[in-house]
Protein backbone atom coordinates (compact mmCIF):
# COMPACT_ATOMS: atom_id res chain seq x y z
CA UNK A 1 0.00 0.00 0.00
CA UNK A 2 1.30 3.44 -0.96
CA UNK A 3 0.46 6.56 1.03
CA UNK A 4 -0.77 9.44 -1.14
CA UNK A 5 -1.06 13.04 0.04
CA UNK A 6 -3.35 15.41 -1.87
CA UNK A 7 -3.66 19.10 -1.09
CA UNK A 8 -7.00 20.73 -1.83
CA UNK A 9 -8.56 17.31 -1.37
CA UNK A 10 -11.92 18.41 -0.03
CA UNK A 11 -13.67 19.09 -3.32
CA UNK A 12 -13.50 18.94 -7.10
CA UNK A 13 -10.52 17.28 -8.70
CA UNK A 14 -8.78 16.73 -5.36
CA UNK A 15 -11.69 14.75 -3.98
CA UNK A 16 -12.01 12.78 -7.23
CA UNK A 17 -8.33 11.82 -7.11
CA UNK A 18 -8.57 10.86 -3.44
CA UNK A 19 -11.45 8.47 -4.09
CA UNK A 20 -9.74 6.93 -7.11
CA UNK A 21 -6.45 6.26 -5.32
CA UNK A 22 -8.34 4.82 -2.34
CA UNK A 23 -10.32 2.57 -4.70
CA UNK A 24 -6.98 1.12 -5.82
CA UNK A 25 -6.20 0.24 -2.21
CA UNK A 26 -3.87 3.11 -1.33
CA UNK A 27 -3.92 5.07 1.89
CA UNK A 28 -4.84 8.68 1.07
CA UNK A 29 -4.34 11.78 3.19
CA UNK A 30 -6.24 14.86 2.06
CA UNK A 31 -5.63 18.35 3.32
CA UNK A 32 -7.21 21.77 2.90
CA UNK A 33 -8.52 24.73 4.84
CA UNK A 34 -12.19 23.70 5.03
CA UNK A 35 -12.61 20.97 7.65
CA UNK A 36 -16.24 20.31 6.75
CA UNK A 37 -15.39 19.62 3.10
CA UNK A 38 -12.50 17.37 4.08
CA UNK A 39 -14.69 15.40 6.47
CA UNK A 40 -17.28 14.88 3.72
CA UNK A 41 -14.65 13.12 1.59
CA UNK A 42 -12.81 11.26 4.38
CA UNK A 43 -13.61 7.69 5.35
CA UNK A 44 -12.22 4.23 4.76
CA UNK A 45 -8.72 4.63 3.35
CA UNK A 46 -9.06 8.43 3.11
CA UNK A 47 -7.88 10.45 6.11
CA UNK A 48 -8.28 14.21 6.52
CA UNK A 49 -5.73 16.59 8.04
CA UNK A 50 -6.68 20.26 8.02
CA UNK A 51 -4.02 22.71 6.85
CA UNK A 52 -3.25 25.79 4.78
CA UNK A 53 -0.67 25.20 2.02
CA UNK A 54 0.44 28.84 2.12
CA UNK A 55 1.56 28.53 5.76
CA UNK A 56 4.97 26.91 6.29
CA UNK A 57 4.26 25.66 9.81
CA UNK A 58 0.91 24.19 8.82
CA UNK A 59 2.41 22.37 5.83
CA UNK A 60 5.05 20.85 8.10
CA UNK A 61 2.36 19.80 10.58
CA UNK A 62 0.29 18.16 7.83
CA UNK A 63 3.21 16.01 6.72
CA UNK A 64 4.05 15.14 10.33
CA UNK A 65 0.47 13.96 10.83
CA UNK A 66 0.35 12.10 7.52
CA UNK A 67 3.61 10.19 7.81
CA UNK A 68 5.99 9.43 4.91
CA UNK A 69 4.26 9.73 1.53
CA UNK A 70 5.51 8.30 -1.75
CA UNK A 71 3.07 10.24 -3.92
CA UNK A 72 2.37 13.92 -3.22
CA UNK A 73 -0.10 15.85 -5.35
CA UNK A 74 -0.10 19.63 -5.03
CA UNK A 75 -3.66 20.34 -6.11
CA UNK A 76 -4.75 23.28 -3.94
CA UNK A 77 -5.39 26.43 -5.92
CA UNK A 78 -7.54 29.53 -6.25
CA UNK A 79 -8.54 31.70 -9.21
CA UNK A 80 -9.71 35.29 -9.49
CA UNK A 81 -10.20 37.44 -12.58
CA UNK A 82 -9.57 41.17 -12.96
CA UNK A 83 -8.24 43.59 -15.59
CA UNK A 84 -4.51 43.98 -15.06
CA UNK A 85 -4.78 47.64 -14.09
CA UNK A 86 -7.20 46.77 -11.29
CA UNK A 87 -5.12 43.99 -9.75
CA UNK A 88 -4.35 44.97 -6.15
CA UNK A 89 -1.39 43.83 -4.10
CA UNK A 90 -3.82 41.88 -1.91
CA UNK A 91 -5.18 40.06 -4.98
CA UNK A 92 -1.66 39.37 -6.32
CA UNK A 93 -0.27 38.12 -2.99
CA UNK A 94 -3.29 35.91 -2.31
CA UNK A 95 -2.99 34.12 -5.67
CA UNK A 96 0.78 33.68 -5.46
CA UNK A 97 0.63 32.49 -1.83
CA UNK A 98 -1.70 29.58 -2.57
CA UNK A 99 -0.92 28.68 -6.17
CA UNK A 100 2.87 29.03 -6.19
CA UNK A 101 4.20 29.28 -2.64
CA UNK A 102 1.79 26.49 -1.69
CA UNK A 103 3.35 24.16 -4.28
CA UNK A 104 6.86 25.16 -3.17
CA UNK A 105 6.13 24.44 0.51
CA UNK A 106 4.31 21.19 -0.31
CA UNK A 107 7.07 19.82 -2.53
CA UNK A 108 9.89 20.96 -0.25
CA UNK A 109 8.32 19.12 2.68
CA UNK A 110 7.53 16.12 0.50
CA UNK A 111 11.15 15.84 -0.61
CA UNK A 112 12.39 15.80 2.98
CA UNK A 113 10.66 12.45 3.60
CA UNK A 114 10.29 10.87 0.14
CA UNK A 115 12.30 7.83 -0.89
CA UNK A 116 13.22 6.29 -4.26
CA UNK A 117 10.26 5.74 -6.53
CA UNK A 118 8.53 8.84 -5.22
CA UNK A 119 6.21 10.94 -7.34
CA UNK A 120 5.44 14.65 -7.04
CA UNK A 121 2.60 15.95 -9.19
CA UNK A 122 1.41 19.53 -9.49
CA UNK A 123 -2.11 20.14 -10.75
CA UNK A 124 -1.30 23.20 -12.82
CA UNK A 125 -3.35 24.71 -15.66
CA UNK A 126 -3.29 25.40 -19.37
CA UNK A 127 -2.36 28.93 -18.26
CA UNK A 128 0.93 27.46 -17.09
CA UNK A 129 1.97 27.10 -20.73
CA UNK A 130 0.26 30.16 -22.24
CA UNK A 131 -1.19 33.50 -21.14
CA UNK A 132 -4.71 34.38 -20.05
CA UNK A 133 -6.34 37.78 -20.41
CA UNK A 134 -7.84 39.19 -17.20
CA UNK A 135 -6.03 36.54 -15.15
CA UNK A 136 -2.42 37.77 -15.05
CA UNK A 137 -1.75 36.85 -11.39
CA UNK A 138 -3.22 33.38 -11.91
CA UNK A 139 -1.25 32.81 -15.13
CA UNK A 140 1.93 34.10 -13.49
CA UNK A 141 1.45 31.72 -10.56
CA UNK A 142 0.96 28.76 -12.89
CA UNK A 143 3.98 29.68 -15.04
CA UNK A 144 5.91 29.77 -11.76
CA UNK A 145 4.69 26.28 -10.94
CA UNK A 146 5.99 25.02 -14.27
CA UNK A 147 9.39 26.59 -13.62
CA UNK A 148 9.48 24.93 -10.21
CA UNK A 149 8.43 21.54 -11.62
CA UNK A 150 11.02 21.56 -14.39
CA UNK A 151 13.82 22.72 -12.11
CA UNK A 152 13.07 20.29 -9.30
CA UNK A 153 12.71 17.42 -11.77
CA UNK A 154 16.34 17.91 -12.79
CA UNK A 155 17.51 17.98 -9.17
CA UNK A 156 15.82 14.74 -8.12
CA UNK A 157 16.10 12.66 -11.29
CA UNK A 158 19.03 10.61 -9.99
CA UNK A 159 17.16 9.93 -6.74
CA UNK A 160 14.53 7.96 -8.71
CA UNK A 161 11.90 10.62 -7.95
CA UNK A 162 9.83 12.29 -10.67
CA UNK A 163 8.17 15.70 -10.72
CA UNK A 164 5.49 16.52 -13.27
CA UNK A 165 2.53 18.81 -13.85
CA UNK A 166 -0.94 18.20 -15.23
CA UNK A 167 -2.26 21.24 -17.10
CA UNK A 168 -5.99 21.04 -17.81
CA UNK A 169 -8.16 23.58 -19.58
CA UNK A 170 -11.39 24.70 -17.95
CA UNK A 171 -12.58 21.94 -15.63
CA UNK A 172 -16.15 21.00 -14.77
CA UNK A 173 -15.65 21.94 -11.11
CA UNK A 174 -16.82 24.50 -8.57
CA UNK A 175 -13.92 26.81 -9.48
CA UNK A 176 -15.13 27.01 -13.08
CA UNK A 177 -18.72 27.38 -11.96
CA UNK A 178 -17.65 30.45 -9.99
CA UNK A 179 -16.03 31.78 -13.18
CA UNK A 180 -19.29 31.15 -15.02
CA UNK A 181 -21.22 33.06 -12.36
CA UNK A 182 -18.74 35.92 -12.65
CA UNK A 183 -19.19 36.05 -16.44
CA UNK A 184 -22.97 36.13 -15.99
CA UNK A 185 -22.69 38.94 -13.45
CA UNK A 186 -20.25 41.06 -15.44
CA UNK A 187 -21.70 40.56 -18.94
CA UNK A 188 -25.39 39.84 -18.41
CA UNK A 189 -25.14 36.60 -20.39
CA UNK A 190 -27.35 33.70 -19.41
CA UNK A 191 -25.82 30.53 -17.99
CA UNK A 192 -25.73 28.62 -21.28
CA UNK A 193 -23.92 31.46 -23.02
CA UNK A 194 -21.46 31.85 -20.15
CA UNK A 195 -20.68 28.12 -20.17
CA UNK A 196 -20.28 28.19 -23.95
CA UNK A 197 -17.77 31.05 -23.70
CA UNK A 198 -15.48 28.81 -21.65
CA UNK A 199 -16.22 25.43 -23.23
CA UNK A 200 -15.76 27.01 -26.65
CA UNK A 201 -12.08 27.61 -25.96
CA UNK A 202 -11.63 23.83 -26.14
CA UNK A 203 -11.65 22.59 -29.77
CA UNK A 204 -13.75 19.66 -28.52
CA UNK A 205 -16.30 22.19 -27.28
CA UNK A 206 -16.50 20.94 -23.71
CA UNK A 207 -15.24 21.34 -20.17
CA UNK A 208 -12.64 18.85 -18.91
CA UNK A 209 -13.98 16.24 -16.47
CA UNK A 210 -12.13 15.85 -13.14
CA UNK A 211 -11.86 12.13 -13.91
CA UNK A 212 -9.55 12.96 -16.82
CA UNK A 213 -7.12 14.67 -14.47
CA UNK A 214 -7.48 11.78 -12.05
CA UNK A 215 -6.67 9.22 -14.74
CA UNK A 216 -3.54 11.15 -15.67
CA UNK A 217 -2.46 11.35 -12.03
CA UNK A 218 -2.97 7.62 -11.57
CA UNK A 219 -0.75 6.98 -14.58
CA UNK A 220 1.97 9.41 -13.43
CA UNK A 221 2.01 7.66 -10.04
CA UNK A 222 2.41 4.24 -11.67
CA UNK A 223 5.53 2.33 -12.73
CA UNK A 224 4.48 2.89 -16.36
CA UNK A 225 5.44 6.58 -16.00
CA UNK A 226 8.82 6.01 -14.33
CA UNK A 227 10.72 7.91 -17.05
CA UNK A 228 8.23 10.78 -17.37
CA UNK A 229 9.89 13.69 -15.58
CA UNK A 230 9.69 17.48 -15.73
CA UNK A 231 6.71 17.41 -18.07
CA UNK A 232 3.61 19.57 -18.52
CA UNK A 233 0.90 17.13 -19.54
CA UNK A 234 -1.78 19.25 -21.18
CA UNK A 235 -5.45 18.24 -21.14
CA UNK A 236 -7.26 20.80 -23.28
CA UNK A 237 -8.76 19.08 -26.31
CA UNK A 238 -6.08 20.58 -28.53
CA UNK A 239 -6.50 24.24 -27.48
CA UNK A 240 -2.78 24.79 -27.11
CA UNK A 241 -1.78 22.80 -30.22
The residues carrying an active-site annotation are 138
Q: Of 125, 123, 126, nearest to 239 (Cα)?
A: 126
**What is the Cα–Cα distance from 94 to 25, expressed in whole angstroms?**
36
* b/e code 128-164 from CB counts within 10 Å (16+ = b): bbeebeebbbbbbbbbbbbebbbebbeebeeeebbbb
3-state secondary structure of 62: helix
d(CA 24, CA 76): 22
Assign 3-state DSSP to the chain and report helix, strand, coil percentages, each to 5: 50, 15, 35
Rounded CA separation 157/111 (Å): 12
Amino acid sequence: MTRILITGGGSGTGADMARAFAAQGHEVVITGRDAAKLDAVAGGLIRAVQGDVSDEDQVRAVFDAAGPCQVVIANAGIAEAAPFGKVTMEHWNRIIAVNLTGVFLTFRQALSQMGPGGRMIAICSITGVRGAAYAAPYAASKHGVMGLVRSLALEVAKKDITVNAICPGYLDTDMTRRSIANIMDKTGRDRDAAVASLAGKNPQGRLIAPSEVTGTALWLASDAAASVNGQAIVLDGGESA
